[in-house]
Structure 1
Amino acid sequence: MQLCEQVQVEMVPTDAIQKADRSPVTVADFGSQALICKAIGDAFSDDVIVAEESAQALKENASLLERVTGYVNRFCKETPHSAETVCEWIDRGSGEVGPNFWTLDPIDGTKGFLRRDQYAIALAYIVDGTVQLGVLGCPNLPYQLNDEDAERGCLFVAIRESFESTHGDSEAHGSIANALGITESPVRMDSQVKYGIVSRGEASLYIRLPNPAYPDYRECIWDHAAGLIVVEEAGGTVTDANGIPLNFLTGKRMHENRGVVATNGKLHQHVLKALAKS
């Protein structure tokens, strides 16, 4: 989190580039992934990590790689490491989905990060398709959502015991809210921070439906795994729009699931019924 916060303060225009899918990636995305993958690799050397970023773009951009390496060394309490080593740490996240694996989004909500708005560092550990551990670091989230003077920076951790409007269907979200009698305006923000505010009771539900222009779109596992367990361990419920549990074993995208619904639990069946009628 400290690396991301520092990059946000010192960021220059060349610290962000566009990936092949036209989504942005920044020095902070790469640096965050490097440090987290290093920490997991040092503690659990045989564990598989499925992360969002690859070091390939860095290897093709010397100045960006230099910036990333500088930030990583600033926050790595060891002898300075080479750019090659930093790339190796990032690429520890190139694993594939299997029986046991970590999934990481080093910055969930990069556009929010670039606006100096909400974003999250999201990490989850999945065993046989079930999320067992989730961590959400939300550096810009106030302790109380509606208190502008509240301190910022929240960490959500859950262990299971034995705003991008173009991403979703805003019209459908509104009709569902009307069907449920919800009159409050929706809170729009980027990243899995939304799961965090549901878990602490500042929102009753979070709905994410595919944009009608892209009906076959399916969600990435790293965008939801950590948030799911944070909500569930707080007593809430998370499924897809059809009430089916999220399946994290179909690859990097949840091909068997359509959309996501996260609620405080009490509303869940009512939301699913409203979705079925919409």
Structure 2
Amino acid sequence: MSTIRYSRERQIALSAVLKASLLAQKVQEQLVGSGGVEKRDKSPVTVGDYTSQALVSSLLALHFPADRIIGEEDSSDLRQPSQSAIKDQIVRLASEAMSESLPLEEEERAWEGVKAGEPKTEADWLAAIDRGNSEGGASGRHWALDPIDGTKGFLRGGQYAVCLGLIEEGEVVLGVMGCPNLPLDPKNKDGEKGALFVAVKGEGAFQRSFTSSTLTPISMSTLTSLSSASFCESVEAGHSDHSTNARIAQLLGITKDSVRMDSQAKYCSIARGDGDIYLRLPVSETYQEKVWDHASGSLLVAEAGGVVSDMHGKPLDFSLGRTLRGNKGVVAAHKDWHAKVIEAVQQAVGEEKK
């Protein structure tokens, strides 16, 4: 894989996502454990989210100081006295993660300038988190960052992802995702886990491990019939309308059970052919999808041979700020079948309104 324009951005993004992914694994081991935690206790993912955002933000600020970040988190809650214990954990984990070496030399080198400025104070880390306060828009360069996407998956020991996308003049041009719990080989569920996914616009989609820089091309499955397809959808019913999805499957003649997983790992899954269609239909008329939930994943699928749109077939518009307020829902499928899927979506939604 070679590109001239975004080679540096791609390498820095891979380095940032890898370190944040390894941090997330550590937080899971230390604060969640193999048995998971109760859903109501979200403190582990809170610690992971903030720390991951602080790390990625610090690296981006070093290499691309003029770029802005559309991050999911800000430090306002952390500054409350009641959050002092969590804040202390974040400072400790961020400092430890910054000093820990990455397994690959080229990625370790990316952090040298950041490490030279150690030690960072509590104020430094909070400021790093708050660099994610960009409102986005149609001009300039913005990094869309979801430091841990898939809260419920993280807490239950399921799928989650660290997601970083570069939006330039309102268009996603680079996407990197780290999925610590996703098997590297989908045919060997018990094999090595931890996959990094990367796509540069016009360059194709690729996968690699956490410990090797070797990039393997990936692509969506080519189907002879939609009836042999499988859906990949959210675990949580609050994230997508499962009943409408079932009707869409019926209209398309799909009989396979849906593959359900949390986070943008769904995009990664269909991009490499584990599943075929990703549906995220709105469960609320007022909900607006967030930019960081779809930037990197949508580019990965597009570069793997797919089309990603909203439920009406409109391209996702990343130029409107922190949300996709110009779109409703998300539908991703192979380019050969996307139009058929949209037809079924429209029919199913139309039936519900009658």
- After TM superposition, the score normalised by the length of structure 1 is 0.93
Q: Which amino acid aligns with 1:277?
A: Q
What residue is the counterpart of 1:113 in the other structure?
154
Following superposition, the deviation at residue 267 of structure 1 comes to: 1.5
The count of aligned residue pairs is 271
Cα root mean square deviation, aligned: 1.8
Separation in 2, partners of 1:116, 1:18: 13
Kindly provide the CA deviation profile for residues 242-273 of structure 1, in whole angstroms up to 9, marking residues without a partner as x.
00000112221111101000112222011011
Q: Which amino acid aligns with 1:231?
A: V
The correspondence for 1:81, drawn from 97, 109, 120, is 120
Is 1:47 aligned to residue 67 of structure 2? yes
Separation in 2, partners of 1:208, 1:267: 17
Following superposition, the deviation at residue 146 of structure 1 comes to: 5.2
What residue is the counterpart of 1:145 in the other structure?
186
Q: Secondary structure at the match of 2:259?
A: coil
| Percent of residue pairs identical | 41
Separation in 1, partners of 2:251, 2:320: 33
Following superposition, the deviation at residue 18 of structure 1 comes to: 6.1
Q: Which amino acid aligns with 2:247?
A: S
Is 1:136 aligned to residue 156 of structure 2? no
Separation in 2, partners of 1:165, 1:153: 26
Is 1:266 aligned to residue 336 of structure 2? yes
Q: Secondary structure at the match of 2:163?
A: strand
The correspondence for 2:56, drawn from 30, 36, 45, is 36
Q: Which amino acid aligns with 1:251?
A: G
The correspondence for 2:315, drawn from 245, 254, 259, is 245
Relative to structure 1, the CA distance from residue 199 to residue 153 in structure 2 (aligned partners, 3 Å threshold; closer, same or farther) is same
Relative to structure 1, the CA distance from residue 177 to residue 160 in structure 2 (aligned partners, 3 Å threshold; closer, same or farther) is same
Contact preservation (8 Å) 1:198, 1:264: no
Following superposition, the deviation at residue 135 of structure 1 comes to: 0.5
Separation in 1, partners of 2:276, 2:162: 22
- Rg bigger for which structure? 2
Is 1:220 aligned to residue 290 of structure 2? yes
Separation in 2, partners of 1:3, 1:59: 22
The correspondence for 1:182, drawn from 242, 247, 254, is 254
Separation in 2, partners of 1:148, 1:125: 31
Separation in 1, partners of 2:335, 2:154: 30
Q: Which amino acid aligns with 1:129?
A: G
- Structure 1 range deviating more: 156-165 or 67-76: 156-165
Kindly provide the CA deviation profile for residues 23-56 of structure 1, in whole angstroms up to 9, marking residues without a partner as x.
x951110010000000100000010101000111
- Structure 1 range deviating more: 75-84 or 249-258: 75-84
Separation in 1, partners of 2:89, 2:296: 28
Gaps of 5+ in 1: none
What residue is the counterpart of 1:9 in the other structure?
29
Q: Which amino acid aligns with 1:147?
A: N
Relative to structure 1, the CA distance from residue 101 to residue 17 in structure 2 (aligned partners, 3 Å threshold; closer, same or farther) is farther
Q: Secondary structure at the match of 2:86?
A: helix
Separation in 2, partners of 1:17, 1:139: 21
Separation in 1, partners of 2:160, 2:277: 19
Following superposition, the deviation at residue 145 of structure 1 comes to: 3.4
Following superposition, the deviation at residue 275 of structure 1 comes to: 1.1
Kindly provide the CA deviation profile for residues 214-247 of structure 1, in whole angstroms up to 9, marking residues without a partner as x.
2221210100000001101111110000000001
Following superposition, the deviation at residue 161 of structure 1 comes to: 2.4
Following superposition, the deviation at residue 96 of structure 1 comes to: 1.5
- Structure 1 range deviating more: 159-168 or 255-264: 159-168
Contact preservation (8 Å) 1:235, 1:264: yes
- Structure 1 range deviating more: 63-72 or 53-62: 53-62
What residue is the counterpart of 1:65 in the other structure?
87
What residue is the counterpart of 1:27 in the other structure?
47
Is 1:161 aligned to residue 202 of structure 2? yes
Separation in 1, partners of 2:270, 2:334: 7
Q: Which amino acid aligns with 2:97?
A: F
Q: Which amino acid aligns with 2:296?
A: A
Separation in 1, partners of 2:186, 2:261: 11
The correspondence for 2:282, drawn from 210, 235, 240, is 210
Separation in 2, partners of 1:259, 1:129: 19
Kindly provide the CA deviation profile for residues 162-193 of structure 1, in whole angstroms up to 9, marking residues without a partner as x.
83221111111111111111111001110000
Following superposition, the deviation at residue 148 of structure 1 comes to: 2.8
Separation in 2, partners of 1:126, 1:116: 30
Following superposition, the deviation at residue 274 of structure 1 comes to: 0.6
- After TM superposition, the score normalised by the length of structure 2 is 0.73
Relative to structure 1, the CA distance from residue 259 to residue 188 in structure 2 (aligned partners, 3 Å threshold; closer, same or farther) is same
Contact preservation (8 Å) 1:126, 1:132: yes
Contact preservation (8 Å) 1:201, 1:264: no
Following superposition, the deviation at residue 147 of structure 1 comes to: 3.1
What residue is the counterpart of 1:95 in the other structure?
134
